[in-house]
Chains A and B, each alone.
Chain A
C-alpha cells in the first residue's frame, strides 16, 4: 500500500492535509481521489464544483448553515463523560453524541448543508442514495426543510431489512425508489442515482451521503461533517480539561470519521478508524476496505476497494448496513498511507457485545455501526491504562431493533430477579 507514496512524500502530504491544502485542484488527496465519471456527467460535476467554490465558504451561506445546525439539527451535540465505562476499561472515556442530532445520526450535518446548497444552485429536485436509511431519512428531512422534492434510491435488499426507515422517508415526503440492479444494496443505489442524474444534470442535485465518490464530494462532505471534530476539540478542552490521547470512529464510507478526525489531524492524538470485520477476513466476509482492500477505481474515485484480482468489485458483509460498502473515502486512503490514522476491523460479534456493554453501563443504545468503534477503543484502553479516550458516537441504535431482536438480551441481574 505505502508503495503508492514515495519514501519521504508521506510527511509532506500529511502536512498538506493538516494545512487544509487537500484535495488539490484535481480533487486528489495525494494519489487518491480524482474524478472518474462518464463524460455525460462531467458538466454536472463541474457545475457542482463551481457551486461549492462559490457558496460553501460564503459568509451568508455559512450563517444560514450554522443557524440550521443550531436551531434545527440541535447542535452543538453533547460531549458525554462515561464514568461507568471508564471504570470498567480503566480509562477516561468521553463520547461525542451525534446520536442526539436531529434524525438520530451525524448524517444530518451533511444533508442539511447540501440541501441548502441545492437550493442556492436553483435545481428542481434532489436525489439521494441510502443504505441503512439514515442518510435517506436525513435527506428527506433536509429537503422538506428547504422545500425541494426528494427521491431516495435504496437497494431492494435494504428496503426489506430497513422497513421502519423506509416509512420515515415517505412520511417526510420523499419518494423511495427500489433498486433492483446489481447487489441491490448501497453500491447499486449509488450507481442508480448516478444513472438518474445523467438524465437531467442541470435540474437534479445529487445529495451524496458519505465522503466518497468523485471530486468534489469527498471534500464537500468532509467540510460539512468537520463540525463534529471542531466541537469535540473545544468540548474536550472545556469539559475534560484537555485533548484526548486517542480518538475512535467507525468507518464505512467514512463521513463521520473524517468529520471527527480532520480537525484533530494536527494534534498529538492517536486516531483510529474502525471498519466492519464482519464474520471473517476472507473476501466477501467483511467490509474492511482499508484493512484488507487494494487500490482501484470505484464510483468515481481512486481509493481502497474490495475487489478480486480481475478488478471486479466484491460484495461485502457486515451486521451494520451503514458500514456495508466495498469502497471508502479517498482521504482515509491517504491518511492510512501516511500512517496518520490507523485502521482496524471489529467483528459482528464484538460489535454486538460492545453495543450491549454501552447500554448496560451508560444507558445509551448506540447504532450497530458505531458499536464497532467501541470494540477498538476498549482494546486500546486495555493496552494503555489511565489514558483519555474520545469516541465518535455517530448514531443511535433505534433503527437496529429489527436486527437486535434476533439476539437475546443477556441477563444482567435485574432488580426484580
Chain B
C-alpha cells in the first residue's frame, strides 16, 4: 500500500515535469518560428493581396520547413514522438492569429479577410506521418519535402479562392484581393513594394502555380536536410563544454 502511494507520487511528479516541458517547448518554438517566419515570409502572410499564384507558394513553404525539420530531428530520434512538424506549425498558427486578431484587426482595423494567416497544418501532419511510417529522415526529406511544397497551395486554396475571383473595378480587371488592397491603404507598404505575380510567364494564367509548387517542393527537399542536421547535432545537442578542472588536467598531458 505504501509502495503504491510512493509510486503514484513519482508518477504525478513525472507528469508535472512532462507538462512543463511540453508547455515551454511549445512557447519557445512559437517564439522562434514566428519571428523567423514573419521576417522571411511575413509580407505574404500578412495580406490577402500578397497571397498570389507565383511567389507565395514558393517563399512560404521553403522558409517554413526549417523549424519542423529541426524539431522532428530531436522529437523523433530521442523521444519517438512523430509530432515535431505539427507542434511547430500549430505554434506558428496560434502566434499569427493572436496578432492578426488583436492587432491587425483590433488595433489598426484591417478586416480579418485581409490579414488572416496561411496554414501549414495539413502539410505538417503529412510530414510527420511520412517520418513515422518510414522512420527514415532521408526518405522524409525526399518524399515529405516534396509533399510539403506541393500541398501548401491546395490546402490553403479553400481560404483564398474567393479572393482570386476576377472583378472589373473602374474599368480595370483585377482580383477581389487587389480591390481590398486599394480600399485599405497601407501607408508604409505602397503597392509598388508588392512582390506578386512578377515575370512574363505569369501571363499563362493558372499554369504558373504548378511550376511554383514544383520549384517549391524541390527547394523544400533541399532545405529539409541542413535543418534536420542542425536540429540533430546543434540545437538538439546535449554537449557540455569541458569543466575548468578537466581543461586544466588535459593541458598537463
| A and B interact | no
Task: Give the interface of A toward B (CB within 8 A).
Answer: none
